[in-house]
Chains A and B, each alone.
Chain A
């Protein structure tokens, strides 16, 4: 049955290949009619395989759940042997379930959402490509294969963000956003490449089995482990939009909304967390790297939350929220085994509720004629009841209200953040507080989003809007995700089912007591969450929301501009880089190229000098000849003494 595993990737990959190549070979008219259903089928087939494997794994004892499935030797040269192999274990399968399930739902949703787009087939091809790449990423049994999926999702993300890269007024901006996402991802990928180089230099192998084995990690010096850990973190920052590589995520919302739901909320952006958890062994050997991971998580958590409070664009607000939530996961991943399970758990629940929220946002946009400005929404609960309820479930989940799913995972992270670290007592307090603070801000901006959209007595719509629910193809996925947001935490969280499930992979976490009693943490968190929500309710539901954004405080203005991240990048990186490039360009033209042309110039200068001797007058040449003879004769006479032999 394990032999089915390659089909997880195979189905969507074949789907993508057919959808992309069919029109090239056979023309697009035929496939445009049924291509989207092929895409759905490919994703669904993958989902079915995932379910089968899942059931098989549940039926296997815990120690036998991690299986490596070897496909073929991928590359074997110069001491590096990497198999094309899949690793099936609870961690990867969790991800597989998330990707295929949510992915299939989003495929179905997209059938309706993209109904009027002439390029729907291409869209599904890219979606399938994404699913295949994402599954490759999580199923890979080596860093190298992981990297294939890693960049594969980057490519899919690039293609989907820039899906509308021509023919629309915003086409160029979409294309630029896509490029920005890919390039910033690539900056992170440098880290993964460097990490692989370090690992190969150290262990001579790149598969998880060898590189992460106790032998390998145990013999790793502190410096190496830290370097590898930081490099991996860089990679994770790029992919998961963590500080300082977070700038692309907001722009990535240029893609169609299902894409934002699938890639930029539920799955791809969490790959960084997956990488951190997967490489946990190395991070544990490098406390410094761990600290940096936690720091990055904490900073991003607050960063995203603050930005989320100020955004009026519903998708950008959700994107900021995603960034912030991944900050939570990253923070957890940096806490060691105690945090891994909760990081993944939050990843899972977040996948559901954030996908639900995004699809809900898509549904709202669909109803409102692609309007994304929340200040032009309001009072939609009556017109979009299903969307309202499902997004409401997602809202409660992300707030962490018990018993919705977010509570189980996020609370776990907050607790873990409060666990003291030996020798660094400040850490528990600082990160614990940040986590709680983040929860409060999350509550504020999500409530703001929810009530700006659905609440309010007076709609602020633009002219001629007649909001209504979309087709069942659109709201059924919402229902599924809503149910998931509500119940998943309860199902998996109670009694630590999920933690136990992951234990074979992430290791057993010793139980440590947080610096504060658990009940106090839970209560305090709930209190601040409710406070934050109430504040938002007061500001955006009770009071009237102005249609034009008020000027706001300095912080609000900064947050609207993503805390000047683009300006900072522009000033600190892009402009100096282009300056350097211009210097190189001028240098190449004026120094290198001109430098080489000095040679021919010198030759022609000498030529010019010697040319003067060529008068063209035969008699001059004759004089030269005769003079030469004379000189030779004189020299011969003097030197050889021709005539002196008398």
Chain B
């Protein structure tokens, strides 16, 4: 098997994640899509680390995880706050930027 299969898998997962972000309206699911995308990149990082024999890829993946964790914390807090005020977790209901 070619190691690039992992990268292709990562690409597919990334695309699925992106599509989730674009198509789902529930903020939490949208968030999950974001997480999926992050994980996909992590997989790519790990694969490239292995491919090049360089640990930096794993280090980057590690940082991505940490930052993702931070992001999730803040993001979910925001979702909770929005939900409290609007009783809704749909991203379409938050359209105050409408021109």
Contacts and interface: CB of A to CB of B under 8 A. Distances in A.
Q: A–B direct touch, CB within 8 Å, in complex?
A: yes
Interface in A566-612: 610-612
Interface in A590-637: 610-619, 622-623, 626
B22 interface: yes
Contact of A619 (B21, B96, B97): B21
Given A617-B91, A618-B91, A623 B96 contact: no
Q: Size band of the B side of the interface? A: 10 to 19
Interface string B87-99: 0000110111111
Contacts of B60: none
Contacts of B99: 610-616
Contact of B92 (A610, A611, A619): A619
B50 to A, nearest CB: 22
B25 interface: yes
Contacts of B96: 616
Contacts of B91: 617-619
Contacts of B92: 617-619
B25 A619 contact: yes
B16 interface: no
A534 B81 CA distance: 114
A619 B94 CA distance: 11
B49 to A, nearest CB: 22
Contact of A615 (B18, B21, B22, B98): B98
Contacts of B95: 615-618
B18 A626 contact: yes
A622 to B, nearest CB: 6
B98 A622 contact: no
Interface in B16-45: 18, 21-23, 25, 30
A553 B22 CA distance: 100
A611 B30 CA distance: 25
Contacts of B30: 618-619
B94 A618 contact: yes
B35 to A, nearest CB: 15
Interface string B57-99: 0000000000000000000000000000000000110111111
A317 B82 CA distance: 94
A622 B97 contact: no
Interface residues of A, number: 13
A611 B18 CA distance: 26
Contacts of A613: 99
Nearest to A608: B99
A217 to B, nearest CB: 77
A626 B98 contact: no
Contacts of B22: 619, 622-623, 626
A298 to B, nearest CB: 79
Contacts of B18: 626
Contacts of A622: 21-22
B23 to A, nearest CB: 8
Given A619-B91, A619-B92, A614 B98 contact: yes
A623 to B, nearest CB: 5
A617 B24 CA distance: 12
A50 B94 CA distance: 95
Nearest to B91: A618
A615 B23 CA distance: 16
Contacts of A610: 99
B86 to A, nearest CB: 14
A623 B19 CA distance: 9
A614 B96 CA distance: 10
A117 to B, nearest CB: 72
B21 A616 contact: no
A500 to B, nearest CB: 94
A628 B18 CA distance: 13
Nearest to B33: A622
A614 B21 contact: no
Contacts of A614: 97-99
User: Which one of B25, B92, B94 has the highest number of Cβ atoms from chain A below 10 Å of its Cβ?
Assistant: B92
A622 B27 CA distance: 13
Nearest to A610: B99
Contacts of A611: 99
A622 B94 CA distance: 14
A630 to B, nearest CB: 10
A623 B22 CA distance: 6
B93 to A, nearest CB: 10
Nearest to A612: B99
B8 to A, nearest CB: 14
Nearest to B27: A618
A617 B97 CA distance: 8
Interface in A513-544: none
11 contacts: A614-B99, A615-B98, A616-B99, A617-B91, A618-B94, A619-B21, A619-B22, A619-B23, A619-B91, A619-B92, A626-B18
Given A610-B99, A616-B97, A616-B98, 16 more contacts: A611-B99, A613-B99, A614-B98, A615-B95, A615-B99, A617-B91, A617-B92, A617-B95, A618-B30, A618-B91, A619-B22, A619-B23, A619-B25, A619-B92, A622-B21, A623-B22
Nearest 8 A/B pairs, CB to CB: A616-B95, A616-B98, A614-B99, A611-B99, A616-B97, A618-B91, A623-B22, A617-B95
